[in-house]
Each structure stands twice: as C-alpha cells, then as structure tokens.
Amino acid sequence: MTAINPKIRLFVEGAFHAGAVIPLAEDQAHYLLSVMRSADGTPLALFNGQDGEWLGTLSVISKKKAEVRLVEPRKPQVGTPDVWYVFAPLKHGRIDFIVQKATELGASALLPVMTARTIASRVNADRLLANAIEAAEQSERLEVPVVRDVEPLTKVLAAWPEDRVLLYGDESGNGLSPLELFAQLPADIAKWGVLVGPEGGFTPDEFALLTNKKFARPISLGPRVLRADTAGLAALTAVMAWRGDWDKKPRFEG
C-alpha cells in the first residue's frame, strides 16, 4: 500500500490485477479530461464490485478517450448488508435523491414498483443506475446496488423470497416501532427489504395483500406523518443501525 490518496474514485467493469488496463466509459473520460482536466498519470481509485478498491493511473489516449492502468490493491472487498429498497417512484426528480440516499445508506438492490396510487408512469432505469453509481463512488462503497426494472408491486410480492423480511411503512397505527419490531424479530435474519409507498399511500387492497404475506411486517415511524422519501430513508436507517453493519467504522486511508 502506498501513501497515494487519489481524489477521484470510479466504478469500472473488468477483472482487476496488477498491470490490467481498463477502458473508461465515454462519460468517465469526459469527466476526467474535460471537467477535472486530469493529466496523464493522475492517480485514481477504482472498484468493480468484486475485487476491492485498487490504485490505478490515468492513461490519456485522445481528447475524448482514456483508460486506467491498475497498480495495486488499496482495500479488500467487504460485504454490505443485504437490504433491498423497494419504492414507488416519485415525480419531480425526487427519485434521483432517493436513489442517491438509499445507495449511501447501503441498499443492496433498488426495486422501483408501480402501486395503485403511483403517479410517475415511467422510470428511466439508466438514470437510476447512473445515480446509484455516482453515490457508490462518493460514499466509498465497494459495489453498486443492483437496479431492477420497474414492476407492479403485486408481481414483486408474488415473487418475493420467503426468507427475506420485508418492512413496510404503515401509518395507520398497525405497525410496530423499530424498537419493538427489532426486539421481536429473530436475531439471525440476514435478508431484508424495505418498502415505501407513493405520496398517496397504499390502497386498502394493497394493505390487505401485505397483511397476508408472512414475510411482510408493518413498521411505524412515529406520530408525525413522514413524506414517502423521508419514511423510506428512515426505515432503511433503522434496519442498517439495528441489524446492518453500523458497528463497523469507515475504512479511511492515510
């Protein structure tokens, strides 16, 4: 390990080993060459989701093209808690915000779902992924969450794995508080999901469907009415703090 501490951290695809040359995507090359004006030889931190974080150096090929030459490993790959974040997409660009925050907080997968009262009718999966990658790069994550295509909530629930506990926001008074809920749930649960509805909430039919699923548990986030995005991030925070990896510290390099 060297004392070099790169200022820029990028997610790239390809196997990592010393001397490997990884081509950069067009937008990454543009960012480095035109926005950051990085020179040939600039040190970079790279991760690919499986080989930990590596030190690399920039090789400029042309004004718009660049690649990275891998030097040596910086950090070993470590796991992130397995928590799926299931959310009804919101309009007005607030979906970008949700994806960024959920990625920082450590969601392992992002599942946009259509519910009866969901207003947004289309989801730009490329944009979700771009936001998730950027948030992973900035939050020192070693992997990017899986971004799933949008599906109806009913379909996601029908295919839901029985051993994955799904916490869904319920403001009707049926939910348990995080303190109560995590005291009740078995200590060895390894797979989680958090589900938040649209601004208008779930319909009675959707609540009935959720109530009938053994894996689904209502969670109550206090007496104030939280907006959908706030509720989702609060529930994700609770899972990470109680049952995730918040006992671990950030892995800073000198």
Site membership for its own copies, residue 203 (CB under 8 A): no
Span from 21-29, 44-52, 58-66, 227-235 in contact with its own copies (CB under 8 A): 227-235
Site membership for its own copies, residue 185 (CB under 8 A): no
Q: Where are the beta strands (DSSP E) in 88-204?
A: 109-114, 146-147, 151-152, 165-169, 191-196
Radius of gyration for the alpha carbons in the chain, expressed in angstroms and rounded:
20
SS3 172: coil
Beta-carbon count within 10 A of 126 CB: 9
Residues 6+ away with beta carbon under 8 Å from 192: 81, 82, 83, 84, 164, 165, 166, 167, 239, 243
Site membership for its own copies, residue 173 (CB under 8 A): yes
C-alpha 231/C-alpha 176 separation (Å) is 14
Count residues near its own copies (CB under 8 A): 45
Site membership for its own copies, residue 118 (CB under 8 A): no
**CB of 60 vs its own copies, minimal distance in Å:** 28
Residue 55 is inside which H or E element, if any?
Answer: strand 53-60
Site membership for its own copies, residue 106 (CB under 8 A): yes
**CB of 254 vs its own copies, minimal distance in Å:** 12
Site membership for its own copies, residue 141 (CB under 8 A): yes
Instruction: Report whether 25 contacts 31 (CB < 8 A).
Output: no
Site membership for its own copies, residue 98 (CB under 8 A): no
**CB of 77 vs its own copies, minimal distance in Å:** 13
Site membership for its own copies, residue 74 (CB under 8 A): no
Site membership for its own copies, residue 77 (CB under 8 A): no
**CB of 217 vs its own copies, minimal distance in Å:** 15
Tokens of 144: 């990017």
Instruction: Report whether 235 contacts 167 (CB < 8 A).
Output: yes
Tell which one of 26, 27, 72, 180 touches its own copies (CB under 8 A): 180
* Location of structure tokens 């008074």: 173
Tell which one of 5, 172, 203, 211 touches its own copies (CB under 8 A): 172
Site membership for its own copies, residue 119 (CB under 8 A): no
Contacts with its own copies by CB under 8 A lie at 78, 80, 97, 100-101, 104-106, 138-141, 171-173, 175, 177-180, 220-227, 230, 233-234, 237-238, 240-242, 244-252
